[in-house]
Amino acid sequence: MADEILKIQNLKKYFHTRRGIVKAADGVSFTVSERETLGLVGESGSGKSTVAYTIMGIYAPTEGNISFKGEDISQSAERRSKRYKKEIQIVFQDPGSSLNPRRSVKQIIEQPLKVHRLTRKEDINDRIEKLLDMVGLPHDYMYKYPQAIGGGERQIVAIARALATDPSFIVLDEPTSALDVSVQAKIINLLIDLQREYNLTYLFITHDLSLMRNMASRVAIMYLGKICEVASTVKFFQEPLHPYTRMLLSSIPVVSEEEENLKPKKIDSTGEIPSPVNVPPGCSFHLRCPERMDTCMSNDPEMVEWEPGHFVRCHLWKKE
């Protein structure tokens, strides 16, 4: 098995608002191994992006630890060494807002090169051309501006910017959700090819289980700031344990009866995801769970390893 590159232990990120405390991440723990893709999945409001931004140092954790290659990087980005800022990069969800419209593609890509002093001034154009080659864009794109190119191409520019520092770990925060379906496959295939060629490690954040199935080797499911199940992608689709996981899988749209038969039995949840300001006591999913028991309403379950590599946090799966 590959070495562990990222380890998250009991990560908490709370936000104080006028309505109360938002527990966006509440005791999140997982690991990511070198050269793998971990898919972090959940509905909107589950805390996926908060975890990503805390890993990046955009947010400082309220509690818990983040270690990268064995070194503690829990502090905010301003206090991290340049080495870790260089090795950990992010591709944001919407390239329309993550790319400065007043800067050319060249200016966008050269910024991290200048910040980290990675390339001599006279060699910057050559380096940018190589980065454009890596992502399959023509060299003349360096003179274009984001508003003059399509959404998919803007996201490819964002990927090139992330690659500029020769990172080993990239956070992909729903990198295709703002794009047309016809462009999504191109971006996913590019990311897979780059990972194979440059031994990259990805944290792939999404709510789209079909995309995740093609990208991730392991999956972690989040609900209201907590991880409720972690498994290999194969196990996740074949033997989902948590009722929330089964609910997500049963709601995947399919086009054939054969695909429908492969899905878990349809689970009808009641209600909407509760407000993170007012998380219900006990298991946070119990208000929507068709299999809830009395203990679910008052006792928060602990994460257990049901079988090697397959973890679940649910009272239905208690080991004696």
B/e letters for 20-54, b = 16+ CB within 10 Å, e = fewer, are eebbbbbbbbbbbbbbbbbbbbbeebbbbbbbbbb
Sequential pLDDT tens for the chain (320 residues): 469 999 999 999 999 999 899 999 999 999 999 999 999 998 888 999 999 999 998 999 999 999 999 999 887 666 666 778 889 999 999 988 999 999 999 999 999 999 888 889 899 999 999 999 999 999 999 999 999 999 999 999 999 999 999 999 999 999 998 788 889 999 999 999 999 999 999 999 998 888 888 899 999 999 999 999 999 999 999 999 999 999 888 877 654 555 455 555 656 656 677 888 888 899 999 999 989 999 999 999 999 999 999 999 999 998 66
- ∠ CA 45-46-51 to the nearest 5 degrees? 105
Lookup: tokens for 64: 């818990």
| pTM of the predicted model as reported, rounded to 2 decimal places | 0.91
The rounded distance, in Å, linking the Cα atoms of 144 and 179 is 20
CB 281 within 8 A of CB 298: yes
- The domains found in the chain, sorted by start residue, are 4-100+169-176+200-312 (3.40.50.300)
